[in-house]
Amino acid sequence: MKHTKRWLFTGIAVIAIAGLGYVARANHFQTHFLNNTEIDGINVGGQTAGAAAETINVKLSHQVYTVTDQSKILTTFTAKEIGITPYTANQIKQLISNQNAYAWPAHMTRASANSHRLGLKAINKAKLSAVSNRVVRLANNAKRTPTRNAKLVYNNQSFVIKRQVYGQQVNRDSVKQSVTNAVANHQSQIDLKTAYIKPTILQSNASLKKARQTAIKLSTNKITYTLANHSVTIPESEIASWLTTKNARISVSKKAVESYLTKLSYKYGTIHKTRHFKTYSGAYVNVPAGLYGWHIKVTAETPRLSKFVLAGKPVTRTPVLQGTGYHKNGQDIGTTYVEVSKSSQHMWVHKNGNVIISTDVVTGKPPRGTTPSGVYVVWSKQRNATLRGQNDDGSDYASPVSYWMPVDATGVGIHDSPWQPQYGGTWYVSHGSHGCVNTPPSVMAKVYANVPLKTPVIIY
């Protein structure tokens, strides 16, 4: 009986001592990290917050990261270069307060190690951007295949989804992400391949497949332009060639629409065209283009046409036009116009098919002041104007006139000229104007009254 009691007392004593040891160790880990605890991959087990901070910061101060490209070193940088700043004891002390000190027996082997990461919080954004920009510059994107999303294309009279391209180009954001991931995962080697820009829309994308069906429907829509007695329906294949996708949504190529409208304008517009003109004498002459004429205002019509294409509803319209002389019936110069013959030194004013004024004139003195040939337009009218310029000898002139009707963009116009003693014949050869059509004052008032703005003026 005495023997049994002795063993009982011994057992109680051992348990008490062990309990006291357990509590003592638990108290120790109130201020120290549990065994095998790691912070950013660095073992700080058993250390205080201050000691752990010193251990980590020593490691960080010597950390070098290497960026490789196809097994070759592209560049290196240090932890300091990306702004991984030293940690303070207070930052790390919080980790100790969060650990379960009484679980210390479970942390006696590495299999049960605690792992903490602080690296992501320590990177300086501005410095990381600077390093990333350096990597992008050294990567030389110009020599790399660009990444491309899957997209809708029109090829061989049908819509197909062109598969994505996995390229080798990088950008600042993709490099920043790769560097950040490497730091977070305690990797000192960064393969540039992990920073390759990845396509965001793949060939299997459901929205892209839906866009293909929409494009097929939109291409069959009927859009018709009426242009000076012409009716032009845009071919289905033309509309189809404008359709593509942006972020898996149908869009219209602005460049393609502009190209189509430019060609349409050139075909039907008149601003750039030489006219085969029947003169007063009955002979035909070719008169080059001038200011008179119209064309499609491509910059204004492009967004409108693009909108109609995406709307998918039939439409018939006249496009936005600019210039003068547009007539729905296809008429160009018409029956009301001013005709000036330089060889005859004569001007006729035609109104509704009848000549209401016929007068000799004086045109520009050759060769410097020769009146330019072309189909022009009366774009302004002004009473009591002063015309200014330079004489052949370089001196300045200022000529007051009672009636002024400019017709081109260089200062040529029709006006009275009280300084001219005679008109017609060959007087212009030695006494011609600086380019304007000098008209007898006795006639000019009638010309001014009978020639409204936007009247075409044919000079040949």
Give catalytic residue positions. Answer: 415, 436
The tokens 């003068």 sit on which residue?
324
d(CA 446, CA 450): 6
* Strand 456-459 versus strand 374-377 pairing type: antiparallel
Q: How far is CA 438 from the centre of its chain?
A: 51
For 301, counting Cβ atoms within 10 Å of its Cβ (0-12 exposed, 13-18 middle, 19+ buried), the class is buried
Alpha carbons 53 and 340: distance in angstroms, whole number: 96
The token pair that represents 25 in the structure block: 């160790």
Residues 226, 268 contacting (CB under 8 angstroms): no
CA nearest to 82, candidates 6, 14, 181, 157? 181
Beta carbons within 8 Å of 155's beta carbon, 6+ residues apart: none
